[in-house]
Copies of this chain bind each other. A is one copy, B any other.
Amino acid sequence: MKGKLYGIGVGPGDPELLTLKAKRIIEEADVVAVPVKKPGELSVALEIAKQSAVIPEEKIREIEFTMNKDKAKREACRKKAAGEVMDLLEEGKTIAMLTLGDIGIYSTYAYVHKIIVKAGYDVEMISGIPSFCAGASKANISLTEGNEGLGVIPSLRGIDQVEKALDVFDNLVIMKVGNHVEEVYELLESKGLAENGIVVSNVGMEDEYVGPLLPEREYGYFTTIIVKKEL
């Protein structure tokens, strides 16, 4: 009998935000597949899962997803990754592939999911807590209430797209802000929303910051800005 692949979201960082289902399936799986950029590299998703689930070293299997700038190389690497997973499925293995946050939101897993579904294997996605939900909870605010809308957009998409999204939605999560903070601040200021940005940055790290958007401050890579027109 062929195996089954579970794509599993382990949540944004706090090991206790793993779901009961994620913990059970990870512990029951024959193989815990871990996406890495390079072999031997530390996987944050695995480090999180290990703190709440029992994962023997011999079950862990690294799967490489290169971040090479060459699109063809990235695609080839994804095909190879899917092939490795399908080989394990042919052997009848149950595989739990881990991803940070939710399994359906900007996950590396998505790149192999489609290929493996198309090939006809048994696949199930297990949701995890998205980083922006945990970020809002950390900031003690709701993302959306009543009949309000919510937008989620990476700042890499371009500031004009962020502006369009801001015009449509009462609440906007701008992800991966990194070095676009100043641009975002200027946009908010131009809309009279300079005081409506809440920053959630490097949660759980030494330089964690959760508070109002201050343009003169430096923020880390894992920076999310939540804009709420009504605070």
Contact = CB atoms under 8 A, between A and B. Distances in A.
Interface of A: 9, 11, 14-21, 23-24, 52, 102-107, 110, 113, 117, 123-130, 133-134, 136-138, 140-147, 149-154, 156-157, 161, 164-165, 168-169
A220 B137 CA distance: 30
Classify the secondary structure of A's interface with B.
Answer: mixed
Contact of A21 (B17, B117, B141, B169): B17
B24 A19 contact: no
A229 to B, nearest CB: 14
A98 to B, nearest CB: 15
Copies of this protein, total? 2
A150 B152 contact: yes
Contacts of A156: 147
Contacts of A17: 19-21, 127
The 9 closest A-B pairs by CB, nearest first: A16-B21, A125-B137, A149-B153, A104-B136, A150-B152, A104-B143, A110-B142, A127-B133, A104-B142
A141 B20 contact: no
Given A16-B24, A164-B168, 10 more contacts: A16-B20, A16-B21, A17-B127, A20-B23, A113-B142, A125-B136, A125-B138, A127-B137, A130-B130, A149-B154
